[in-house]
Every structure is written in structure tokens, then in C-alpha cells.
Amino acid sequence: MRKDPSRATGRPTLAEVARLAGVAQITASRALRDVPTVDPGLVSKVREAANVLGYVPNPAARTLASARSQSVVVLVPALSNQLYIETLEAIHSVLRPRGYEVLIGNFHYSREEEEELIRNYLAFQPCGILLTGFDRTEASLRLLEANKVPCVHMMELTQAEDVFCVGFSQEDAGAVVARHLLARGKRRLAYVAAQLDARVLQRGEGFKRALAEAGVLDPALEIMVPEASSVGLGGELFGRLLRQHPDVDGIFFCNDDLAHGAIFEAQRQGIAVPDRIAFVGFNDLPMSAHIVPRLTSIRTPREAVGKHAARLMVARLAGAEVPDRTVDLEFELVVRESS
Amino acid sequence: MRKDPSRATGRPTLAEVARLAGVAQITASRALRDVPTVDPGLVSKVREAANVLGYVPNPAARTLASARSQSVVVLVPALSNQLYIETLEAIHSVLRPRGYEVLIGNFHYSREEEEELIRNYLAFQPCGILLTGFDRTEASLRLLEANKVPCVHMMELTQAEDVFCVGFSQEDAGAVVARHLLARGKRRLAYVAAQLDARVLQRGEGFKRALAEAGVLDPALEIMVPEASSVGLGGELFGRLLRQHPDVDGIFFCNDDLAHGAIFEAQRQGIAVPDRIAFVGFNDLPMSAHIVPRLTSIRTPREAVGKHAARLMVARLAGAEVPDRTVDLEFELVVRESS
DNA sequence: CTTCGATAAGACAGCGCTATCTTAAGAGGA
DNA sequence: TCCTCTTAAGATAGCGCTGTCTTATCGAAG
């Protein structure tokens, strides 16, 4: 059969499927890829032959021949963050059943690392890339541009033309939190943030803008540290803020982790939440609905972002007309006991 | 240059590197792969040419020509579980710098789904597979066997010959928890578990074995539900247990999530932890060191498991002699306020 | 009845790399 | 000096697919 059996993999090939189905190899190829110019009768014949042989296409050969893989690269700033896990899971759930492979790249909140990942992953000739946000190096942008890989941006929105993005307004979310705390009668409002990526900064901007509009912005009421966010850090930053500004009566944490830590610390110090100080988190992690007191938070559509971004990519790859290049999935303020 | 430029990808190829370096293509190939029979002078010449051109090898062509990719498949039962994220991250950190791609498969605690994933991923001709535990379908085992892909098993240990595994004794961990609670003077001890995978069952077995040895095992003191574990479920199961057995004075939760939920529920019900009931969790998630009261837990070496499993795989792929096929990374009981 | 265009099926070549076989060039011994 | 043996470099032939061009077939139009 094969000229040099030592090189072969042992698995059935398209040629064998074609032979069994009694058609040319290329016809079998087209039949299995749903190319519309193949007679339905032949398609089912080929399908059956493939089934009988247990044929699974060789992705390497496919990629080499067509210069385009069936892989979608997803670049996220962290895996440790529960947030991105849910998004990734959603992306998987859309792409895998449609035959796409998902390659995950974690760039650890580093633009340089992201650039390196892009460079390396482009060698896989991915059919699309899902990116987090818009903040990346010039070189990254050039690479993506030069390789003409379809991109979809997640988590942030933009007005720019020809950019596909799925997310929500981080700034508006910050503003909503500010107005909520103001409505609760709080006036000494602080923003506590860690892991200062673009989105964390946007939330803070929105929060402070709303405070300024209400005439209660005190720029001193802010702690922003670049280190990674964690429960322990939340307690620490809360303690620090309280020592510096004992009169603070409301805090917006850039994510729930920090808020959880602050709740524990408040409990230890015997500080009444929300009476003396109200807390609001961000992301609405599962724990927030159960912690004592239950945490008010912004519920972010992170699963929906993944699903929509993946669907948008699939639509583009299928050549479909995509009416909405910008998908605003919105967020929701979930008011609970902590405010 | 190329015969049919329309088919080309536009990126530099090995042939161009070889031309620039003034060697045959195959020599360039060998030089870049560190095949030892190439003159060091030529190696650096080729390396430089590759650098000048910005050459990145085409993985699809590589895989097709060698019938083996540089991808390692990792199959985990869940992504939602913090536990596996840390393991995955560790695996990534070892494999990616060495040029391996990591393909993640999530089988959602389903043996059938795992089998399907194995079938599909084998088409990628992975150079290795990292598996979670030992519980899988016959067909899965046969597929792995037939394709002769090196496997490393994570999270559990076995005495079987010729099986590479990295983990710790789940049973022993359960027993350690039991003895700890007994030493605290507790006698009405319960096991509360969800997501009943093999490891959760093993922990329970170890726990109950130790209780039986101490003569205090009450088989009624147990709640095991198959549904997914969550903070909310922990509170619920704790409430249920307390109604059925108001005299329970110590609970071992199969993971920290459940224990956190139970702590919140206890706080709401005004039940003193640990005085009336002591709690012990499993995994020692970051939050456990901060929750009020701080949670006693078993610290599992999940990051180390990933690192060691990946290193073991790398060593096998390099053809190195691996002295220890079984790596027991052990666990640690971290005693805190909740017991 | 011929011509033409549309459509379906096939032939062919090549994607970019590596396994394998072959050749060339030294090293060493008789 | 000749011959063998080792070792490095090269030539060749695919790996398993798909893009592209060609050919066959058929109905409609002239």
C-alpha cells in the first residue's frame, strides 16, 4: 500500500477512505469538509467509509496544506483569576464542538510576554485570535496586522471602526458603584485597587468621575498597588486605608477578592459593615453571595463574553456578515448586605 | 524562488535559512534541533541566519514530517476548580519554555467525555499526555496503549509497575484529618462531600478508616452528593447535617469551598466554630487563611504536582532514565482556628 | 444539431519539514 | 601508498492533506 511503511502513522488516511468509498481523494476531502459542490450521495458514501475506518483527519497535514489551522488562540492576562477561567470555559464550549482547537496563552499581565506569545502562536497559523482588551505593544499590533488573522477583543469596548469587541463599559460600572454608595448616604468614598491593568484603571476613572460630579471626590481616598490581587492583600489594604483615613465610609474594591479580605479584616477589628463602612466589590464571584455580610458587587458577564466572542469568531470564519462589531453585554449591580 | 507563490505563507522557511547559511536544508534542520552530528561552527551559522530572517519553525510541517508533535495534552476533570488551574499553570511554566505546546482538555468529570477527548487529541499526535487519576474507560486505556503515547498520571498514586504518577495519598490525608479532630476531643465526626470523584471517595475512606480504628465511626454521619461542589452547597449540606444530627461536633469537608460555605452558615446560625463544631477543609485555598475563623485544611501540593509531572514528561521525552516512576509529594495539615 | 456555459469530479502538485539512505571527507592502520 | 572505518554533510522522498487547474457531463440556448 504505502511506499515506505516505516514513515506512516498507522492511522487511516484520507486516501484509504476515498478508496473504500470509490471516489478520488480530493472528493473525499471535499465531502468531509462540506464543500457544497459534492453530490449528496457521494457525501454520505464518504462519510460512511470514514466511519467504518474510524478515520480522523490529521490536523497537521490539514494545516500544512491549507496554510491555516483549525486552532483559535486565546490570550488572557492570568489564569489564576477565576474571572478568566469562566470566560475560557465558555469559549471552549462554543469552539470545541465546532471542531476548533483552543490554544491558551497566559501573558501574566505583561505586554512583552503577550507579544512573545503572539509571535510564537502565529507559527501555528491559527484561524483566529481572541484577545483581552486593547492595551498591547506596537509590535504586537503589527504582527497581528501583517498576518491578517481575524481578531476579537474581549472585556473592553471601543468606538474604533473595524474592530470586533465583546465586553462592557468598565467606566460605567465604576460610576454605577459610586452612585449607589452616594445613594446610601456615604460621602467619604475610596477606591482600593491592585493588579493595575487597563480595566482596573477604567473602573477607577468611572468611579472618581461620578464622585467628582457629586462634588465629593477626595483624591487622597485611594489605594492603588501594582501587585497581584488576593484575599490577604485586601485585608491589608483595608487596614492601611483605615489608619490613614479613619473617616472613610464607603469603599469600592476593584475586585471581589480584595473585598472579601477586607470583610474578614473588618470582622476581626469589629468594624460594622455596612453601617460604619460600606463595601462594594467587582465581578460577583460565587462566594460573594454567601460571605457574611453578603457582598454588594458588579456582576460581570464573563461567561457571556466568552460565548459571544467565540460565536463572533465562528461567524467571521464562516464568512458571515456580522452586523454588530461591538457587543455590549452590560453589567449588573447586585446589591446585598455589605452596602 | 517558490514554484507557486500563491500557496506560500509568506513567512521564512527552513530552505531560506539554509540558503542564507550556505548549507543544505537538512543540515539547517539538524542544527536548529540540536542534533549532535552537526559541526558547532555550522550550528551557529544556521542559528544566525535564522535570527536574521526571523525564522520560526512551522509546527504543522514538523508534525507531519516526524509523525510526532511538540504538544503535550493535559486532561483535567474541571477548570472551574481552582485546584486544577494552579496545576495547569505549573505545567505551562515547565513545558512552554522548553518549546512544548500545552493542549488542555476538560472532561467535566465524565469518563465518556474523557474518552472522546483522548480520541480527538490523539489525532494531533501529541508527544505526551498528562492524565488526572486512574479512573477511565477501557476504551480510553486501549487507545492510549495502542498509540504508545507516554503518559504521566497526576493527583493519585499507585503501586502498579510501569505507571508514571505524581501525587499524594488521598486516603492518608483523610486519616490525618480524622486523627487531628480526635486529638481535639471531637467524637461525633462527619464527612461531607460533593462531586464524588475517585479522590473524594478515597479521602472519605481514609477518614472513616481512622474513625473506625478509634471506635467512633458512625456511618450515618455522612453526606455525599454527586452534584458540583460550591460555597452555597457547603452551607446547605451543613444545615442539613445539623438538622439530622444536632450532636455532630466535627466535620471534614471534601474541599475548602464546602467548608467556607459551612462557616458562613454557622456564623449566620450563631454556631460556635470550633467550640461546638470543628471544621476541616481540603486543598487549603488562599481564602482559608483569612476567613473568620481561619480554616484548618489539608494543603495539597497541586502546583508541585504540575511541575513534577511536566518535568517527568520532559525527562521521558528526552529519553532520560527516570529512577522514580512514582513521586509522592505529600500533603500537609495546616491547623488554624476552625479546629 | 451544435455551441456554450455551468457544474461536478478528478489529476496534480506542493505546503515545510524530517527520516532515511547515500556520498564525501578525514583518520588511522597495515 | 592503499584500504578500511568513522563521521559529517547532502540528496531524496515522502508525511497527509488541500489549492488550483483540467476534464467530463449535462442542459439550455441559438
Q: Which residue of A has its CA nearest to B61?
A: A64
How much is the pLDDT for B319?
84
How much is the pLDDT for A1?
35
How much is the pLDDT for A8?
73
Residues of chain A found within 8 Å of residue B62, distances taken between Cβ atoms:
60
Residues of chain A found within 8 Å of residue B79, distances taken between Cβ atoms:
85, 88-89, 92
Q: Flag residues 77-136 of A with CB < 7 Å from strand C.
A: none
A120 and B CB contact within 8 Å = yes
Taking the C-alpha atoms of residue A75 and residue A82, their distance in angstroms, rounded to an integer, is 15
How much is the pLDDT for A322?
85
Q: How confident is the model at residue A128 (pLDDT cuts 50, 70, 90)?
A: very high
Mean pLDDT for chain A overall: 94
Q: Which residue of B has its CA nearest to A54?
A: B119
Q: Quick check: A65 CB within 7 A of strand C?
A: yes
Q: Which residue of B has its CA nearest to A292?
A: B264
- CB-proximal positions of chain D, under 7 Å: 7-20
Burial A170-200 (b: 16+ CB within 10 A, else e): bbbbbbbbbbbbbebebbbbbbbbbbbbebb
Q: Is B309 left (phi over 0), alpha (psi -120 to 50) or beta?
A: alpha
Same fold? B5-57, B170-299: no
Residue type, B231: V
How much is the pLDDT for A132?
97
Q: What is the mean pLDDT of residues A15-34?
A: 95
How many Cβ atoms from other residues are within 10 Å of residue B45's Cβ?
19
CA-nearest of A321, A326, A286, A320 to A308 is A326
Q: Which residue of A has its CA nearest to B261?
A: A290
Cβ contact, residue pair B106, A124, below 8 Å: no
Q: Which residue of B has its CA nearest to A268?
A: B292
How much is the pLDDT for A81?
79
Query: What CA–CA distances, in Å, run from B16 to A323, B2, B28, B297?
Result: 43, 10, 10, 58
From the alpha carbon of A9, which nucleotide's C1' atom is closest?
D15
A57 and B CB contact within 8 Å = yes
Q: Look up the protein residue whose alpha carbon has the minimum distance to the C1' of D10.
A: B24
Check whether the bond before A57 is cis (ω within 30° of 0).
no
Distance in angstroms: CA A136, C1' D3: 66
Q: Is A192 left (phi over 0), alpha (psi -120 to 50) or beta?
A: beta
3-state SS string for chain A: CCCCHHHCCCCCCHHHHHHHHCCCHHHHHHHHCCCCCCCHHHHHHHHHHHHHHCCCCCHHHHHHHHCCCCEEEEEECCCCCHHHHHHHHHHHHHHHHHCCEEEEEECCCCHHHHHHHHHHHHCCCCCEEEEECCCCCHHHHHHHHHHCCCEEEEECCCCCCCCCEEECCHHHHHHHHHHHHHHCCCCCEEEEECCCCHHHHHHHHHHHHHHHHCCCCCCCCEEECCCCCCHHHHHHHHHHHHHHCCCCCEEEECCHHHHHHHHHHHHHHCCCCCCCCEEEEEECCHHHHCCCCCCEEEECCHHHHHHHHHHHHHHHHCCCCCCCCEEECCCEEECCCCC
Taking the C-alpha atoms of residue A14 and residue A339, their distance in angstroms, rounded to an integer, is 63
How much is the pLDDT for A6?
62
Residue B238: which residues within 8 A CB-CB, separation 6 or more? B192, B251, B258, B261, B262, B265, B266
Q: What phi and psi, each to the nearest 5 degrees, are found at residue B263?
A: -60, -45
CATH topology classification for A67-167+303-328: Rossmann fold (3.40.50)
The distance of Cα A276 from the centroid of its chain, to the nearest Å, equals: 36
From the alpha carbon of B33, which nucleotide's C1' atom is closest?
C18
Q: How confident is the model at residue A4 (pLDDT cuts 50, 70, 90)?
A: very low
Q: Which of B124, B268, B291 sits opposite A59 (nearest CB)?
A: B124
Cβ contact, residue pair A287, B231, below 8 Å: yes
* Domain A5-57 listed as CATH 3.40.50.720: no
Distance in angstroms: CA B34, C1' D5: 25
Residues 214-243, chain B, touching A (beta carbon < 8 A):
230-232, 235
CATH topology classification for A170-299: Rossmann fold (3.40.50)
Cβ contact, residue pair A67, B7, below 8 Å: yes
Cβ contact, residue pair B290, A88, below 8 Å: no
A122 and B CB contact within 8 Å = yes
Q: Which of B85, B230, B291 sits opposite A264 (nearest CB)?
A: B291
Taking the C-alpha atoms of B24, B27, B29 and B30 in order, what is their torsion angle to the nearest 10 degrees? 170
Taking the C-alpha atoms of residue A7 and residue A181, their distance in angstroms, rounded to an integer, is 69
Q: Which of A85, A101, A260 sits opposite B79 (nearest CB)?
A: A85
Q: What is the mean pLDDT of residues A88-96?
A: 96
CATH topology classification for B69-168+303-329: Rossmann fold (3.40.50)
Instruction: Report angle CA A214, A217, A222 to the nearest 5 degrees.
Output: 145
Distance in angstroms: CA A36, C1' C11: 20
Query: In this structure, are residues A123 and B56 in contact, taking their beta carbons and an 8 Å threshold?
Result: yes
Taking the C-alpha atoms of residue A118 and residue B51, their distance in angstroms, rounded to an integer, is 17
Taking the C-alpha atoms of residue B102 and residue A127, their distance in angstroms, rounded to an integer, is 18
CB contacts < 8 A (A, B):
113
How much is the pLDDT for B3?
39
How much is the pLDDT for A321?
82
Picking from B85, B125, B230 by the largest number of A CB atoms within 10 A of its own CB, the best residue to mutate is: B85
How much is the pLDDT for A2?
37
Query: In this structure, are residues B143 and B75 in contact, taking their beta carbons and an 8 Å threshold?
Result: no
Per-residue pLDDT of chain B (339 residues; tens, 9 = 90+): 333 456 677 899 999 999 999 999 999 999 999 999 999 999 999 999 999 999 999 999 999 999 999 999 999 999 887 889 999 999 999 999 999 999 999 999 999 999 999 999 999 999 999 999 999 999 999 999 999 999 999 999 998 988 999 999 999 999 999 999 999 999 999 999 999 999 999 999 999 999 999 999 999 999 999 999 999 999 999 999 999 999 999 999 999 999 999 999 999 999 999 999 999 999 999 999 999 999 999 999 999 999 999 999 999 998 888 888 999 999 999 999 999
Residue A185: which residues within 8 A CB-CB, separation 6 or more? none
Please check the confidence at residue A27 and state whether its pLDDT lies above 90. Answer: yes
Domains of chain B: which residue ranges? 5-57, 69-168+303-329, 170-299
What are the pLDDT digits (tens) for A36-65?
899 999 999 999 999 999 999 999 999 999
